[in-house]
Structure 1
Amino acid sequence: CFKFHLYSGIRAGGGIGDELESPNGDPLELYRIVFDITFFFFIIVILLAIIQGLIIDAFGDLREQLDSVKETLETKCFICGIGQDYFDKEPHGFETHTQAEHNFANYMFFLTHLLNKPDTEHTGQESYVWEMYQSRKWDFFPIGDCFRRQYESGSGGTSTES
Structure 2
Amino acid sequence: MSVLAGVSACSRAATAEEAAFRIDYPLAAARNTRVIALDPEAERIVRSASELTWGQARFYTAVDPGLDLVTMAGERVPLAGEIAESNTVVLVATEGSNAEAVATIGAACKVRGIMTAGLVVTDAQHIHDALAVLRPYARILLVPAEEDDLVELLRATRA
Same fold per superposition (TM over 0.5) = no
TM-score scaled by length of structure 2: 0.20
The structure having more radius of gyration, on CA atoms, is 1
Greater RCO (CA < 8 Å, at least 6 residues apart): 2
